Structure 1
Amino acid sequence: MTERTRRFPTQARAASTVEAILDATFQLLEETGFETLTTNHIAARAGVSIGTLYQYFADKNDILAAMAQQRAEKVRDSIAAMLIEQPNLGSVRPIVRALMNGFEGSPGTRHALLGALFSKGDEVLYRHHELFLAAIAGKAQLDIELTPERAFILTHAAVSLLRASAAEQDLALDPEALEDELVRLMEAYLAALRTA
């Protein structure tokens, strides 16, 4: 048996264990919220020992950050694919919807995940911004010139507003109305760019 063959099951098991931990964390966040979430509860729900959990994650915030990063990557990749496949979308609604639905769950869950994503600072958004631009470079044929300033506004405006809406849960913003307003904002900016 080759070394590669011996390692693969271990890697697959490790990936399966990590996914079980992430799934258990999401379930517990939805059921009981962030305040009562503990690594012991997560390990029990995932069906792993607490020692196994600590082999992969330092604490519950580390788990939340991994969950948030995973979701952010999926959103980023799906939006890049949209722009590459259909560079001149009739509306930005699919992009706004992808951003809004990328962090599924209750408002409390979204707040916990977005908080964890940005817990190491706002450079997280910068890294995703750079990776997004690299993913579409030379592949997406957009109908506007995407200068660094315009790309900054387009990638940061909606994300920053969604982050604020998750943090300000007392406002009880209606998700459908918020989506409509974000679409209006982004489409007005794009329309202004097209006539500039």
Structure 2
Amino acid sequence: MPDKTVKNQQLARRKPRQERSLHKVTLILEATQQLLESGDIDTLTTNAVAEKAGVSIGTLYQYFDGKPAIVNALAERELGTMAERVMAVFTETSPERSMEARMRLIVNAVLDSYGGRRGVHRQLLEHALTRGTRLKPLLASVTARLLDSEGEGRPAGARPLAQAEAFVVTQAVAGVLRGMVAAPELALDRDEVAAALARLIGGFRNAADEK
């Protein structure tokens, strides 16, 4: 019994420390995001992040070993939120829903994830996709799951795409979504983009059905 009491007391002491740690990490990530609103990743410094977050540089390095680690963590957090919204399309919609309707939901899920900080998210997306981070395949893998992962997201009765076809379609969809985030000045109509993607996917599926 005494041992159990001591263990409970130890756990009670650890929890506040963990909460403080999470709070400091959140402060650091939020500060980084705020700095990127008016700057860029290349000019970002850990000193500026620490000052903006209201923590010492030593505290910052307790949680991150440098700027790349901070940016990677922020990209993972932000792209993770987007991925969750996209995945919800798979699990919350009927398999009978048309491909165009599904693509409309996906386009909206991706673009709505960026809110009013699209400039920041454009930088994070470019960083994740082009600079060799472990987040590079995130958008492609999410899209691939929509299209062909064990039939998930595939219309009833439709045949799976061949490996090469699935690769091409996946990269095309991910590239379009990336482009819409990176170039908002194009002001593309979401529904028109979703319809075009659906036609692209439909063309591959029709070709597969004819084989």
TM-score, length basis structure 2: 0.70
Larger relative contact order (C-alpha < 8 A, sep ≥ 6)?
Answer: 1
2:3 corresponds to which residue? none
2:186 to 140, 164, 174: 174
Residue 126, structure 1, aligned to residue 137, structure 2: yes
Aligned to 2:22: 15
Given the alignment of the two structures, is residue 101 of structure 1 paired with residue 151 of structure 2, yes or no? no
Report the number of matched residues: 192
**What CA distance in whole angstroms lies between the structure 2 residues aligned with 1:122 and 1:24?**
21
Larger Rg: 2
Task: For structure 2, list consecutive stretches of 5 or more residues without a partner in the other structure.
Answer: 1-5
- In the alignment, structure 1 segments of 5+ residues that lack a partner are none
Contact 1:23 1:46 in 2 (8 A): yes
Matched, 1:187 2:202: no
Q: What RMSD over aligned residues (CA atoms) do the two structures have, in Å?
A: 3.3
Distance 1:74 1:18, change over 3 A: same
Alpha-carbon distance change, 149 to 7 in structure 1, aligned in 2, over 3 angstroms: farther
Question: Residue in 1 aligned with 2:36?
Answer: 29
For the 8 Å contact 1:103–1:113, the answer to whether it is kept is no
On the 8 A contact 1:34/1:109 being kept in 2, the answer is no
Mapped pair 1:72 → 2:79: yes
1:49 corresponds to which letter in structure 2? Answer: S
Alignment partners' CA distance in 1, 2:96 and 2:169: 15
Residue of structure 2 aligned with 1:117, choices 116, 128, 132: 128
Change (3 A) 1:78 1:149: farther
The whole-number CA distance in structure 2 between the counterparts of 1:119 and 1:56 is: 25
Question: Which AA in structure 2 matches 1:161?
Answer: V
Contact 1:103 1:110 in 2 (8 A): yes
Give the residue type in structure 2 aligned to 1:11: Q
Shift of 1:56: 1.6
Question: 1:142 is paired with a residue of what secondary structure?
Answer: coil
Could you tell me the TM-score, scaled by structure 1's length?
0.75
Pair 1:58-2:65 in alignment: yes
Give me the identity figure in percent. 31
**Residue 126 of structure 1 aligns to which amino acid in structure 2?**
P
Q: Secondary structure at the match of 2:52?
A: helix
TM-superposed CA distance for 1:48, in Å, is 1.3
1:40 to 32, 37, 47: 47
User: In the alignment, which residue of structure 1 is the partner of 2:171?
Assistant: 156
SS of corresponding position for 2:85? helix
Contact preservation (8 Å) 1:20, 1:46 = yes
How far has the Cα of 1:113 moved from its partner? 0.6
Which secondary structure state, in structure 1, belongs to the residue aligned with residue 15 of structure 2?
helix
Quick one: distance in 2 between partners of 1:189 and 1:38? 43
- The Cα of 1:99 is off from its aligned counterpart by 2.1
